[in-house]
Structure 1
Amino acid sequence: MRKKFDEELRHLNNLLLEMAMLNETAIKKSISLLDDKDEAIAMEVSNYEERTDVYEGIIQKQCLKIFVEQQPAASDLRRVSAALKMITDMERIGDNARDIAEICMMLPDDYASNKFPLVKQMAEATIALLNKSIDSFVNMDIDSANKIDDEDDVVDNYFVMIRDELIDIIKSDFDPAAAIDIIMIAKYLERISDHAVNIAKWVIFSIKG
């Protein structure tokens, strides 16, 4: 019975990793639109969002299957329950990546992306945080999960730096509408980071209760 449960749990972990990879790719592709407003890539991001919705349903069914067939107890029950909570955050991350893509596609044609290297750095930090939170679940690493909340401060600091940078740039005759778009992109990245923190909290719950 335990062997069967472990197999079902491995399958659940693999599904979560696949969903996380979709999230990561969607974020990377959406941010790439800052440099090149490519309709095809924007459509890919939208497709990734739809695929995360599909994964959410698949993982829900896998969790239900484990509940019904394996009747997990104690820590195993918490682990499966945590996975159900995590996919809600991961689905929203897909939504946020799509929102970033849509904003990038609306930026002015003469927008100079090289003015905002901090946005790309913030995206990299956000992706790294998301990956760490997912890995902490798969590896049941509570030490790593406990660090996520503090590491989220790095992403929050990027948001503040970008905001302050935009204030200075607007004073030098930068398009205010484009500035609002940039701050919205940063805000969505901050939200993604918050979802990664939520995932880490569910990891802690699954281990400690």
Structure 2
Amino acid sequence: MGTRKGYDLELKEINDRVETMGKQVLLAIDRTIIALEKMDVVAANAIMKNDALIDAMETDIEERCIQIVVKEQPIASDWRRLASYMRMISDLERIADNCSDIAIYIKKLASLKTVTPPAHLGEAFSSMRQMVADMVEAFHNEDLQLAEKVVKADDVIDDLFEKNVQEIRDAIKADTDAIEQYLDYLFIDKYVERMADHVTAVASWISFITKGELNIMFTDRYARESKDDPQ
């Protein structure tokens, strides 16, 4: 085993890398929002290419967590932190994947006749983006109140998702020649909703790190949604 000082430095290094990964995911979201607004194919390709960087960050952090467990046999509180990191980076990586998924639909939409996007899609994207920003700040400061705010904000995204779905239904009925475009927007809307779920999961692990318990609001929601969505 190494010295306690070296062990603490390793833990801090992992912590910093998780935070950096969160910031990279936030940057990917910002780029996705802009690419969608402008229907920018070049930007969409860059988003998809950048996903490999976030995948590599996940792998690096995961390996570091495993190595410190094997070498140092951490105490319960540190083990709780390391286990939380590994769950967090999985959700962060999924958010980045969803940005790439949306980029694919941006490229498709850019090649089709332009239609008006769902009225609340921009609001949903912006609200989800704020959840990620708050989550990164809550993680940095171990701020439980802010983490709980993130969990509660998921309800806003769910409401906006349903509003967008209804608007897409109405738009398809009114313009059957644009079904493909509206279905693409429906998938994008669903990805935004799923991204918010992943952010909620990350925020809940902040509570587990600091208090040793998961946010009850999150665990109840996760149990309900797991029944509806096997993925």
After TM superposition, the score normalised by the length of structure 2 is 0.81
The 2-side partners of 1:124 and 1:205 are apart by 27
8 A Cα contact 1:33 1:105, kept in partner: no
The 2-side partners of 1:17 and 1:117 are apart by 33
8 A Cα contact 1:78 1:207, kept in partner: no
Q: Which segment drifts farther, 188-197 or 5-14?
A: 5-14
8 A Cα contact 2:124 2:157, kept in partner: yes
The 1-side partners of 2:139 and 2:77 are apart by 13
Give 1:118 shift.
Answer: 2.1
Q: What does residue range 41-190 of structure 1 map to in structure 2 within 5 Å?
A: 41-107=43-109, 108-113=111-116, 115-173=117-175, 175-190=178-193
Q: 1:128 to 1:120 in 2, by over 3 A?
A: same
Match of 1:208 among 199, 206, 211: 211
| 3-state SS, counterpart of residue 114 of structure 2 | coil
Q: Residue in 2 aligned with 1:27?
A: 29
Q: Percent identity?
A: 32
Highest relative contact order (Cα 8 Å, sep 6+), 1 or 2?
1
Q: 1:71 to 1:137 in 2, by over 3 A?
A: farther
8 A Cα contact 1:22 1:48, kept in partner: no
| 3-state SS, counterpart of residue 34 of structure 1 | helix
Segments of 4+ in structure 1 off by > 6 A?
A: none
Aligned residue identity for 2:209: S
The 1-side partners of 2:13 and 2:38 are apart by 37
Q: Residue in 1 aligned with 2:41?
A: 39
Give 1:2 shift.
Answer: 4.4
The 2-side partners of 1:35 and 1:109 are apart by 15
Aligned residues: 208
Q: For structure 2, list consecutive stretches of 5 or more residues without a partner in the other structure.
A: 213-231
Aligned residue identity for 2:28: A
Aligned residue identity for 2:181: A
The 1-side partners of 2:133 and 2:120 are apart by 20
Match of 1:8 among 7, 10, 16: 10
Q: Residue in 2 aligned with 1:192?
A: 195
Give 1:197 shift.
Answer: 1.0
Give 1:69 shift.
Answer: 4.2
8 A Cα contact 2:115 2:181, kept in partner: no
Q: Which segment drifts farther, 119-128 or 70-79?
A: 70-79
Aligned residue identity for 2:168: L
Q: Which segment drifts farther, 82-91 or 169-178?
A: 169-178
Q: Which segment drifts farther, 21-30 or 89-98?
A: 21-30
